[in-house]
Chain A
Amino acid sequence: MIRGGRIIDPASNRDETGDLLVVDGRIAPLSQLATSGSPPSHIDASGLVVAPGLIDLHVHLREPGQSAKETIGSGTRAAAAGGFTSVVCMPNTSPPVDGPSVVAWIQEKAARDAVVNVFPTGAITKGLVGEELAPIGSMVREGIVAITDDGCCVQNHGVMRRAVEYARMFDLCVMDHCQDTSLTGDGVMHEGYWSTLLGLPGWPSAAEEMIVMRNILLAELCRTRIHCQHLSSAGSVRLLREARSRGIPISGEVCPHHIALTDESLHRYDTNCKMNPPLRTRADIEALIDGIADGTVDILASDHAPHCPYEKEVEFDQAPFGILGLETELGLFIDLLVHRHRAIDLPRLIALLTVNPARLLRLDRGTLAEGAVADITLIDPDLEWTVDREQSFSRSRNTPFHGREIKGRAVRTLVAGKTVWEL
């Protein structure tokens, strides 16, 4: 029994102070309390928000093959500490998830090591090289929830079209890392004033927008949903808004760093500010926040991308792209979207982190309705704290937010009714 919290369940339009009963790992009606024999154990949630367990549909758990960066065990512990009860893991591992045996391996490892739900994705193409379709149907049978070549982007539009058409047979979402590599070349940061000043090769916004446009056209042509990952530019939001207004099944996600930092953060060549797509400008941040506020962007994610310190501690252009995200994600979103910019309220924010990703990927999660699996996150939206990377559960330390003061965070995470993390 979770008592006295503000229960926010966007899936059922619920926002009220009350008690939540969990019986045998599922949400139960309060009436069941009278019929059950022994008195239930209590969690006092007064002053806290009781939300459905948060879902992050863009996480790199790095297993198999890159366990120096992260493992399913460490990554899911970081997820739990960030308030996430479900993570969708990306297939750019070593070997990549481009066949059923790797999916099965991840499922088995997750059953043993994970403290939150792990939903694997499969590659669109064999080896993530954008040429031949991976055995998508076989991977579906092993439980993938989407396909993506995240980190790479299918450059050949014909191949992408066939992938999207093929995925429709399984009602499977295609997620795309939007990057036209002929435009990015060896770009390592946003192309603009700061790349000019720093003498670093630029990654222009148009390279993302080109593929967002491509995906809109293919979603329209194939009448199948495509999800654009980690949108970073104002132009992408504009394209998405127009397409969605015409009912095209296209969606997009935004990551915390793309609304928290600009390309100016790279002025001292900090490789913890190097990610793909790159940090962009103040105007892009405003457009992304506007897109979140008006519903153009209806999913939030972290792109949690751990890298070892020794990999990041090199010359800027040689460092890998990506930063940690899971443990700072919720705090940054509450701080920036709810408190600072007042772009959305708490129930909307929770929808973007629960029911919306669940619906996109057809996950049986993301609600506190009776009978649902009792994945629950307790949130203190006003708790002020300071990010300390040494406290992270991740195996890596690559965050640009070390030392940042944030208002709002998860304080307790329950998966199927069991507490897996508590502040």
Chain B
Amino acid sequence: MTPPLPMASASAAVPPPHWTRKDLLGIEELSAEEIVLLLDTARAFKEVGTRDVKKVPALRGQTLVNFFVEPSTRTRTSFELAAHRLSADVVNISVSSSSLTKGETLKDTALNLEALHADIIVLRHASAGAPHFLADRLDASVINAGDGAHEHPTQALLDGFTIREHRGSLAGLRVVIVGDILFSRVARSNIWLLTKLGAKVTLVGPTTLVPRTFEEMGCEVRRDLDAVLPEADVVNLLRIQHERQRREYFPGLGEYIALFGLTKERATRLKPDCLIMHPGPINRGVEIDSELADSGRSVILEQVTNGLAVRMAALYLCAGVGNPANP
């Protein structure tokens, strides 16, 4: 396949005709074609990162606001770097420095950002639906960088991108997602993306964190990790989020590791070419054995690299729609 578009010479952010969204709010509402377009665009941008001059002028003159109402280092940094590589101007607002702590509503903060002519708002928020709230009220493009337990679309895109790079296509692959699915926006976005692109998704975890309702989203739900691992083409281990989980969801980390941790012993059941993924930040020795995380089958750092390309693609495509008059 030929990667479309944006080369260093590209001077105008004109999206391909079939990308029509000013916002990227979730994977659920995207068609398979739209997802593939995002991934193909990301592939073209990934090449930019290997050049001596890692910058294209696609978003020159546009202002991006990284609006993070929940702590994050890696996603914020990734968006910031992606915006710089597209030549956009970037402002970071994190919860500690924002007015939200002074009692200003999300609506007012957003209107103020727009009054400053922000073209793109990247929002991370603890409330599910917060990006939709902004997108419905603002002309600016809104990119969801994680909303509560709802979606984290660019994470799923970078996961899909990484799998695609290794395996060519997602169709027919068995992807096993292990851990806290209930509270995970990464899981939801991955489920939509993987099933739309033809992969089979198996969720594994305790009944309290992986309710059967997820079967209605097109997944298989299993409890026996040992039996599932030999069938896996990809294992994606989700972070056990101590801060979110009250004690009632599972008895303790020791028991969690015994039942659902990817230990070295368990990893012997994996196919030799099975990819091990993790959205980070890792709890070494909990979801995954520390040595396994550093081993050759782990693609955890590739995910980080690919995140940059995927976010460039998302910003590029959405900003083109949100700002049709852009020179």
Residues of A within 8 A of B (CB): 192-193, 196-200, 268-269, 310, 313-318
Contacts and interface: CB of A to CB of B under 8 A. Distances in A.
B125 A315 contact: yes
A200 B148 contact: yes
A203 to B, nearest CB: 14
Contact of A316 (B105, B127, B185, B213): B127
Interface centre among A310, A313, A315, A318 (most CB of B within 10 A): A315
Contacts of A198: 128-129, 150
B213 A315 contact: no
Nearest to A266: B129
A315 B133 contact: yes
Binding site secondary structure of chain B: mixed
B91 interface: no
Given A196-B214, A196-B217, A315-B125, 4 more contacts: A199-B149, A200-B148, A268-B129, A316-B130
A272 B106 CA distance: 17
Contact of A199 (B105, B128, B136): B128
B36 to A, nearest CB: 23
Interface centre among B127, B130, B132, B217 (most CB of A within 10 A): B127
B52 interface: no
A315 B69 CA distance: 12
Interface string B91-120: 000000000000001110000000000000
A317 B148 contact: yes
Interface centre among A193, A196, A200, A318 (most CB of B within 10 A): A196
A2 B257 CA distance: 77
Nearest to A311: B105
Contact of B213 (A196, A200, A310): A196
Contacts of A196: 211, 213-214, 216-217
Binding site secondary structure of chain A: helix
26 contacts: A192-B213, A193-B213, A196-B211, A196-B213, A196-B214, A198-B128, A199-B148, A199-B149, A199-B150, A200-B129, A200-B148, A200-B149, A200-B150, A268-B129, A268-B132, A269-B128, A269-B129, A310-B105, A315-B130, A315-B133, A316-B127, A316-B130, A316-B133, A317-B128, A317-B129, A318-B127
Contacts of B132: 268-269
A272 to B, nearest CB: 13
A199 B27 CA distance: 13
A369 B211 CA distance: 56
B272 to A, nearest CB: 35
A315 B106 contact: yes
Contacts of A269: 128-129, 132-133
B147 A199 contact: yes
B127 A193 contact: no
Contacts of A313: 105, 107
Contacts of A315: 106, 125, 127, 129-130, 133
B225 to A, nearest CB: 21
A50 B92 CA distance: 64
Interface in B198-222: 211, 213-214, 216-217
A310 B133 CA distance: 13
B151 interface: yes
B207 to A, nearest CB: 14
What 3 pairs between A and B have smallest CB-CB spacing? A269-B129, A199-B150, A199-B149
